[in-house]
Structure 1
Amino acid sequence: MLFQLSSFSLLFIVVSLFAGAFSGSVQASTVVSVNEASVAVSDQSSSTQKKAARQALEQVVIKITGQRSATSNSAVRAMLSQPERYLRAYRFDVVNGQLSYVAEFDSQTVIKVIRDAGLPVWGQRRPDTLLWLATEDENGNRQIIDDGAKGPVSSRLRELAVERGVPVVFPLMDLDDSVNISVFDVWGRFARTLQTASVRYQPDYIVGARLYKVKMNAVPDIEEEQQTREQASAFRYDTYRPAFSNNGLQDLNTYLVDDLVEEARSPAFTRSEFEAMSQKHTQGDWALDWVVIKNNDIQFGTLYAENEDSLTALFFEEYSDYLGQHFSVSSGDEQTEVNNIFISVANVDSLEKYVHAREYMEQMSMVSHVSLVSQKGSVATFSLSLLSQTSDFFKLVSLDSKLKPVSDVSGNPLDGLNFYWNE
């Protein structure tokens, strides 16, 4: 019998004890549809469909590779010239009066072209991002964009999230959120407060940002502590270069936002220094100061653009490229040998869990084949064929706690490829 539901091996008992050492809540990444895209159109003519099909395929390529630059590859350009060859189905949708062309492409064929071109592939499982975004209107009033927001900024971000296959949620800003965080905390990008307020959402990534129109001649009142803290932190963000900017990805910054802000709790700069700082904001009429938090890794910076919509799009595109670069997997040369590994997975004590665990691994971008080798009690041994290094497998597994490396009571991973299935 494949599954012995009433029998628990000694190994599983030991593994269960080790699994009890796992702390914290289970994070849940999201599985997205990477082979479907939607393009706004004005009519259903054949010429419009042909143009829309190419644009939709471009979206799919960017979504699968995680990089906008992928569309400049010669093999990809050749594929884009004949989108109908890769098209599985299409339809027209009307949402809020807007007609859209929705296309579904053959993902296996598209991914083969991408892999043969030596480009990376980002699987369907994507990290969840919680976005704390504070905006400021012309009168200086500030607000946090919440889950129910219907304005142009939130709408644009939601569109881009679907386009890039990067799951994003906004906070509810209900009573619990209001107790844990304020618009001032988000405006200041106070990392520890953002982390505390985000616990209930269990995101993989936390983004805190403020979006505002640059006031070229505005000089803050150094007598007001709140403005001093805000301006001082902005001054320091400008001094230490961001992890990504208008010029693309740069070296990651090691400074912690809270450490910098802590230094600004009392007036620290003269009026002339503030005036000098205000002259630095010449790269665009709008600015977006951001912080990205992943566990204890904190990065921050500033982006500029000529208008609010362009800046919103610029930030999200760069953030999506950043995630894609981190999680996409390149198979390298097409002659690269397949990396075959065997992993043991505990807590697979039912047929349902077996199916879920297998599907989970099959959805990973670097896994080309999964098969069950043996089953002893509730410990299953799987054979995996990887198109990349074993370290890439661990990197994707770290996205959530579904497949957790087994650790000892001290939290140190055990030797070997031993995992615990969390369901």
Structure 2
Amino acid sequence: MSALNVRSAGKAACLILGLLVLSTLPENASAATVKGLYSQKVPVSGQGYQERADAMNQALASVLVKVAGQREVLSNSVVRSALAKPEAYIRKFGFRTDESSGNRQQYFQAAFDEKAINRLLRSAGVAIWGQSRPSTLIWLAVENGGQRSIVNASGFFPGVFAESFQARGLPLLFPLMDFEDAAAISTVDVWGGFTRKLQDASRRYGSESILTGRLSQNNELFYGRLSLIFRGMNQSVAVDGLDAVAVTQLAADLVGTNLSRHYAIDASDASGNTLLVVENISSLEDYAALSKYLERITAVRDVSVHRVAGSTVELELVIDGSESQLADALALGRNLRVVSQGMQGINGSGSLTASSATLVYRWTR
């Protein structure tokens, strides 16, 4: 059996179905709300004391990596101390048996206290990456038996990618490779890593984060290189004799580490107050939706109404991190569209006037 057939057909089919749904998102779908950042399941061989203790430790480590976005968090001295007492951060746990694979695999499942986890990371000086995360589009050319092809949203390789990226809390997309993609890009373009062609072909998917690579398959091992293209940055890693699972874990590390450095919020790097002007708030329902929207953004610590003028609301935000990180977080959603980012505010008559650090957006339903 090849390295790509490391998962059961039923499991792969479910993962691939999820990828197909993601791959048909509209052009502005650049992000996803990641579920399960604060929960984890771990395969176990039994339900004894030692198995449970080891599983708790492993589950906490996995959650901390997901929330921080990078594995380096596990080398932090404060985090290492917390890993010795994982039960202090668990809200509930249990065991279950998965019989779908035929081998009755047992799992330990734990749900962690979100506030306790965030407090731990802040006390350790580690930035926190919220639930709204950019999707990464994957352009991958694979050579096998002298034939090269672009991996699309079907087959076993995307299923293995999906599992590794899900374990890191990373949304991903694979290209459809339909007529539009075929007209925009070729296997030669992906194999050669031609940045401009890759970025042009990626526009329909609305993703700034692009993972590209070329892999040669020899029996069950892969050789080649993976590269992450993001906002003018190009970071790459070598693939030297890895199986399919290890390749996808290497890719998840590359994406998670680099994107978290951009999006994760460091509470010690507070920027103070920022004015957010939102147009087109025409009802209480709109305002309630906007408030809920802002509550989900990690960079926003507190919100208060500064002024209301007709359908325009001026909000004073207390934020963690930088204002550019706040703008990036707002841009990941679908309901706020930028009007301007500059020196504007609202005067008594409802007109925009000079003010410091003001972001102006329009609410869309």
Q: Against the structure 1 CA distance between its residues 165 and 292, is the aligned structure 2 distance closer, same or farther, given a 3 Å change threshold?
A: same
1:59 aligns with 2:62: yes
Larger radius of gyration: 1
Deviates more, 1:361-370 or 1:161-170: 361-370
Partner Cα separation in structure 1 for residue 154 and residue 222 of structure 2:
24
What's 1:193 paired with? 197
Instruction: Please give the alpha-carbon distance, in whole angstroms, between the structure 2 residues aligned to 1:148 and 1:189.
Output: 22
**Structure 1 segment 100-119 matched on structure 2, within 5 A:** 100-119=107-126
Measure the CA separation in 1 of the matches of 2:87 and 2:150: 43
Partner of 2:280: 347
1:47 aligned residue: 50
Match of 2:206 in 1: 202
| Other-structure match for 1:304 | 239
Give the CA deviation at 1:40.
2.3
The superposition leaves residues 264-320 of structure 1 with CA deviations (integer Å, 9 ceiling, x where unpaired) of: xxxxxxxxxxxxxxxxxxxxx84333343346x252534133323434322321221
AA at the equivalent of 1:52: A
User: Does the 8 Å contact 1:287/1:302 carry over to 2?
Assistant: no
Higher relative contact order (CA 8 A, sep 6+): 1
Equivalent-residue separation in structure 2 for 1:95 and 1:368 (angstroms):
44
CA contact (8 A) 1:161 1:167 kept: yes
Shift, 1:111, TM fit: 0.3
Q: 1:339 to 1:353 in 2, by over 3 A?
A: same
CA distance in structure 2 between the aligned counterparts of 1:302 and 1:113, rounded to whole angstroms = 31
Per-residue deviation, 1:69: 1.0
User: In 2 relative to 1, CA 120–95 (structure 1 residues): closer, same or farther, beyond 3 Å?
Assistant: farther
Which amino acid counterpart does residue 328 of structure 1 have in structure 2? A
Contact 2:30–2:205 (CA under 8 A) maintained in structure 1: no
Aligned-pair CA distance for 1:338: 7.3
Paired with 1:393 and 1:122, the residues of 2 have a C-alpha distance of 12
Give, in whole Å, the separation in 2 of the partners of 1:201 and 1:208.
15
2:186 alignment partner in structure 1: 182
Provide closer, same or farther for how the CA distance between residues 25 and 146 of structure 1 changes in structure 2, counting only shifts above 3 A: closer
1:288 aligns with 2:294: no
SS of the equivalent of 2:176 reads: coil
Which residue of structure 2 aligns with residue 275 of structure 1? Answer: none
| Corresponding residue for residue 358 of structure 1 | 291
Does structure 2 retain, via aligned residues, the 8 Å contact 1:29–1:204?
Answer: no
Aligned residues of 2:44 and 2:107 also touching (Cα < 8 A)? yes
Aligned pair partner of 2:325 in 384, 392, 397:
392
Partner residue, 2:216: 212
Alpha-carbon distance in structure 1 between the residues aligned to 2:106 and 2:359: 50
Structure 2 match to 1:126: 133
Cα 1:414–1:82 shift into 2, 3 Å = same
Structural RMSD (CA):
2.8
- In structure 2, distance between residues paired with 1:26 and 1:81: 43
How many residues align? The count is 320
8 Å contact 1:406–1:413 — kept in the other structure? no
Aligned to 2:150: 144
Residues 1:173 and 1:102: Cα distance change in structure 2 (over 3 Å): farther
Matched, 1:422 2:364: yes
More strand as a share of residues: 2
**What letter matches 1:371 in structure 2?**
S
Deviation of residue 353 (structure 1)? Answer: 2.8
- Which of 253, 261, 285 aligns to 1:317? It is 253
Gaps of 5+ in 2: 1-25, 345-357
Deviation at 1:62, TM superposition (A): 0.9
> 3-state DSSP class of the match of 2:332?
coil
User: Could you say which residue in structure 2 is the equivalent of 1:173?
Assistant: 177
What is the TM-score of this pair, normalised by structure 2? 0.78
State the 1:25 CA deviation: 5.3
Find the residue that maps to 1:365 and give its secondary structure.
Answer: coil
Q: Is the 8 A contact 1:331 1:388 kept in 2?
A: yes
- Deviations 1:38-67 (CA, angstroms, capped at 9, x unpaired): 222233344322211211111111111112
**C-alpha distance 72-121 of structure 1, shift in aligned 2 (>3 A):** same
Q: Equivalents in 1 of 2:155, 2:239: separation in Å?
A: 23
Q: Is the 8 A contact 1:27 1:204 kept in 2?
A: no
Gap change, CA 1:90 and 1:288, over 3 Å in 2: farther
Letter of the 2:175 partner, please give it.
P
5 Å matches for 1:225-264?
Answer: none
